[in-house]
Amino acid sequence: MCFAPYRLWHNCRTMTFAHDIRSNLLMLVDLLNTTGTSAEADDTLRTSAQLSDFAARHDFSGPLEATDADVEATRRLRARFAAALATDAEAAEEEVAKAANLTLAETDALPQLVRHGDWDWHLHAVGASATLADRVAADVALVLIDLIRAGELARLGHCAAEDCAAYLADLSRNRSKRFCDTGNCANRTHVAAFRARQSS
């Protein structure tokens, strides 16, 4: 996964992040949502094949082979940042910063400027020989550090649907996104509200 200095600008409807930042942010949301976001959903990060598929989906460079140890490490990472993000807004920045610093220390982060494939110059936090778990962990830590530095951590939130606990990345200009992209939550909520109005 790739990372570059935080760059964003506005257009009429959305806050646009540089491609690599947006990719890492959406990867983080996807990682947090692998726990299963509703009573019907299962954890989708239980096997090395699932972790390899996850990395492939998010355009990680380098080897995508995952071991059972990578799976366990990535599940611990997921739990670490879910716990940090679950704190109240005032404490969240501090808790996420601590978790990010710990993660970078654990991965022996050594940032390097690289370019490959369709990606122009960007930052890799660990070398190409690092484990898949360490590459995921370093990218998660770096994108969260960048959000904190930009005062944009609040762009990570939870779905407003009553029966959904999924995370979302709010890329809207006015921070108006309320529903996740994992299900049909916005439509279901609006239909339920419409029916409630019709029956009253």
pLDDT(135) > 80: yes
Q: Which residue would you say has higher pLDDT here, 16 or 27?
A: 27
Find out if CATH 1.10.3300.10 is the number for domain 8-158: yes
Greater model confidence, 186 or 129? 129
- pLDDT over 60 at 1, yes or no: no
Rounded to the nearest angstrom, the gap between the alpha carbon of residue 42 and the centroid of all alpha carbons in its chain is 18
Please count the residues of the chain.
200
pTM of the predicted protein model: 0.82
pLDDT in tens, 137-177: 999 999 999 899 989 999 999 898 888 889 999 988 888 78
83 pLDDT more than 60: yes
pLDDT for the residue numbered 119: 79
- Please report, as a single letter, which amino acid is at residue 50: Q
**Token couple for 173:** 């200009």
Q: State mean pLDDT over 37-59.
A: 87
Instruction: Give yes or no for residue 5 having a pLDDT over 70.
Output: no
Q: Which residues contact 182 (CB under 8 A, 6 or more apart)?
A: 33, 37, 159, 164, 166
For 56-84, what is the mean pLDDT? 95
pLDDT at 190 over 70: no
Which pLDDT score is estimated for 89?
81
CA 118 to CA 116: how far, in whole Å? 6
Q: Rounded mean pLDDT of 8-35?
A: 75
Q: DSSP letter for 46, please.
A: S
d(CA 97, CA 4): 18
Which residues does residue 15 pair with via DSSP β-bridges, in sequence order? Answer: 10
pLDDT confidence of residue 193: 63
Say whether pLDDT at 4 is over 80.
Answer: no
As a whole-number percent, the residues of the chain with pLDDT over 90 amount to: 49
